[in-house]
Structure 1
Amino acid sequence: MYRTELTYNIFSLLSIPKIHTDLLWDLSVLFGSLCILYFGFIFFFRNRLSAKSQNISERRKQLTPIISNFLFHGEDATKEENYEYVELKVEIREFIKDPINRSILKEILLDLQRDLTGDARRRLFSLYKDFDLHLDAFAKLNSWRWEIVTKGIVELTQMQVEEAYLQIKKFINHKRSVIRRHAQIATVSLKSEGIGQFLDTTRYPISEWQQIKILEILRNKKDYIPPSFGVWLTSKNKDVVLFALRLIRHYNQTDTNASVTELLKHRNEEVKQAAIECIKEFGIVDAIPTLMAAFKKSKRDTRIFILDAIGT
């Protein structure tokens, strides 16, 4: 009997409470209203974004042919054509007072610069600065958000704004690798002396990708006269020494033979091996005694490099 009473008490505790029917209806109406509002908001904002996107697309279509006319406007143009050119410039200045139009114009110029060369590309860079779009990029450099700073550096580099050199080179040793990497590329790209500034000041490792990218920039520089990269063979940064050796080999700077040979006494095995590769490529016969002396103190892999260099 005690067990039966206990079981009854337990089932009494577990019994489902009664809910008033009106409350259930109220909850259903509330839930249904919330669903309608939710899907209504989604529909409204989706249509709004779609309309905005279409509006931007139409404005872009209007601007693109006008910009093309600017880029191919020659010095031999007639008086009437020059007058139309000035008029168009005034109209665009008014047009880009609207932030959306300004952003669209900037995007068009950034897209076009990838495909243009020669005079047309130089005119595009000039147009970018004429409309003061570079000032927007300069403002990004002062942002506290790293992604905005990066966008500013990339934009100024792509549009070859040399005036940005002094401000961008300050980011060479930035704590964020993304900013640092783009600042290094910008420094080398914007000025011929940028490579020296980069090698002099960088404190961080230089990745293989970064070296290849910088070397590509230097290759594409017109009438570029490289400095003597032997100056950086005494750098405390191992990666600077390795990159300097790579550049010495690329530019065939045989006047640095003595400095390259001295690196056989370097404490870093990777530097030694890179120096041996350089000695082998340049055929530095005077380095053979130093190679022989370094053989005893070197590790197994470096000894293989030395034997290969002597045997060649």
Structure 2
Amino acid sequence: MTPGLRRRWYCSNVVGCARARSDEPFWERDLKQGVICSQCGQSLVEGKPIDVRARRIAVGAAVAVTAVLVVWALKAIFFPTPLQYVDFAQHETRVQQNGITLTLPVVRSRDVNRRETVRFSTVDGTAKAGVNYEAAQGELVFEPGETSRDVRITVLPGSGRLKSDLYFNLILVNVANKPHQVVIIEEPKIIDTLAAQAERVVRAASVVAKDIADAVVREHVVTRLLSASRADPAAFERYQNALQVIQGNLRRSRECYEQSFRDMRGIQPRAVMEAMDRVSDNQNRNGFVQQARATAIMKRQFDEYLSDGNMDMDRWANELSSVVPVARSGGASAL
């Protein structure tokens, strides 16, 4: 049998066979019991084969065209052709970490008479979304005739304690070559007058920190002496009065320390942290070792205060007392 020809058979029993009367053919797949009619059992007569080659070609062509159209449609949906002639007005923006909203222009230079949708998204660099800036993604729609649209990005307020500049990128996702603009969050600059103000406040707070350390030491010592002098009424009364004075001084020093932290927070934090380093170094050079250690502890506590806004004075006072070793072993001479 020639390829592309389909053989067929007919029943000739037009009197007794309904299939013969309807002239319905039998195909090769129907010949399960030989070349006989499955309806009446009479032998079949082979008819003229049907040429199905043209039909197969037509069906194949239709399938191929449909597949091409489907692939083209899917590509247009999932892999659209990148836009051309769209870019940022500038490719670098510098800002300080002060909680502002940036307006970053996106422009197109050609094909301005058609409607185009530009997708954008922020991408972390050393700056992190949710910490240093608000993540953003969305679409800009250029209507016919429009040549510029703006993306708005919010830079979050910072502590002013950046160790170096931070950056993140804004990218045009569906534009050829994915143009990007880098946003640099600069380390805040400290002016001389601000540095001097910070140093004055830090020096005063450092004195209070050492006062707290001494007062906690004395409180520990007198509390032990008071407990041991119950058999001596005169000594007991003397230590009891001394303890009241010490606790009054400690309470006032703690209040002053808390206010100092609030005052320091009102200054640029980085200026305060650098002033603490300078003050501590100067104290060490001049032999005020305990004072320098108290300033170093104060710096760590101020950093904690900047992070969560809380002051745990009970713990902080005990931390400061560690700069005075006699707190753990002193006697009446410590008063």
TM range (shorter): under 0.3
Give the structure with higher Rg (CA). 2
TM-score (norm 1): 0.25
Q: Which structure: greater helix fraction?
A: 1
